[in-house]
Amino acid sequence: MQELLPSTGKAVRVGITGAPGVGKSTTIDALGTYLTGAGSSVAVLAVDPSSTRTGGSILGDKTRMPRLATDDNAFIRPSPSSGTLGGVTAKTRETMLLCEAAGFDVVLVETVGIGQSETAVADMTDLFLALMLPGAGDELQGIKKGLVELADMIAVNKADGDNVQRAKAAAAEYRAALHILTPRSPNWTPPVLTYSALTGDGIAELWANVLDHRQRMSASGEQALRRREQQVKWMWSMLEQRVFERLRTDASLRARLPKIEAAVAEGRLSATLAVDEIAAALEP
């Protein structure tokens, strides 16, 4: 990874999230095919939901992206989320850099989008795209989990057939909601678009907004600053994962943890002293 660093950083990094059923995979299939048709190469890092009970994952994203899966200018890598916060696997960042070093022009990161913290994907991409459904009941559901506040762009899918007016109405609701929120960037006001992943209508406009965002952020210097901050956050995130990995793999620590947990649960040991004991055991 260290040797590849000089060859990274040139791709457009886009994070895509949304509730299950919103059409993330279909959108990526349509967007990716549009981009490869325009001469770009596209890497898709699709995080597949892992079972909370068994930890297993079907890894079936390629079946939901039939056109892109057979495109010579596209690469799709499904990965199990394995319970990682934000639905982004621990190795997604490294894979993104590998794809950039391999020469891909665009990297799309699809997250699970099941209500977990979406901060992880926002902290590793240049633009965070939130996909929404028309007429989903509570049009402002995204605000509740902070999704709209993180989004650099909102796109309402399934704006086709009888859904067109409902999609436009939903988009108007989100635009009104964004007026009362402070944008992530002083140089960019998140647009709200409608499109159809099924017919491809609006895909070109969606990508034009991605490029407009990139141009503005680059011109202001904010993109370079954001990427530097992301690298530092990445470092601390990996350190945290390394510490927890020791808890899972060190045999002597694993043997002590159940006793400490039991003591805390039964009220015989305070949580503070328990943490001190575990931290002391982690010291070399």
Q: How far apart are CA 208 and CA 152, in angstroms?
A: 14
Burial class (CB in 10 A: 0-12, 13-18, 19+), 68: buried
Q: Are 15 and 151 in contact (CB under 8 A)?
A: no
Sheet holding 12-18, edge to edge: 74-80, 42-48, 106-110, 12-18, 127-132, 153-156, 192-194
pLDDT at 55: 43
List, in sequence order, the alpha helices (H) in 102-196: 119-122, 141-144, 147-150, 164-178
pLDDT at residue 28 greater than cutoff 80? yes
Confidence band, pLDDT 50/70/90 cuts, at residue 54: very low
Query: 47, 43, 51: which is closest to 69 by C-alpha?
Result: 43
Q: For the chain, what percent of residues have pLDDT higher than 90?
A: 52
pLDDT at 62: 56
pLDDT at 58: 44
pLDDT at residue 59 greater than cutoff 90? no
Confidence band, pLDDT 50/70/90 cuts, at residue 282: confident
pLDDT at 56: 42
DSSP bridge partners of 22: none
Least-confidence region, from 172-181, 206-215, 265-274? 172-181
pLDDT at residue 197 greater than cutoff 80? yes
pLDDT at residue 29 greater than cutoff 90? yes
* pLDDT tens per residue, range 94-119: 899 999 999 999 999 988 665 554 77
Q: What is the pTM of this model?
A: 0.84
- Residue showing tokens 């649960």: 265
Distances (CA, A) of 197 to 76, 123, 135, 207, 243: 18, 26, 17, 13, 42
Q: Are 93 and 122 in contact (CB under 8 A)?
A: no
**What domains does the chain contain, in order, with CATH numbers?**
5-220 (3.40.50.300), 232-282 (1.10.287)
pLDDT at 87: 46
Least-confidence region, from 14-28, 139-153, 242-256? 139-153
- Residue showing tokens 């894979």: 95
* pLDDT tens per residue, range 149-192: 788 999 999 999 999 999 999 899 888 888 887 788 889 999 99
pLDDT at residue 126 greater than cutoff 50? yes
Q: 35 or 18: which carries more pLDDT confidence?
A: 35
**In this structure, what token pair is assigned to residue 248?**
């899972």
Mean pLDDT, range 220-235, rounded to an integer: 93
Mean pLDDT, range 24-48, rounded to an integer: 92
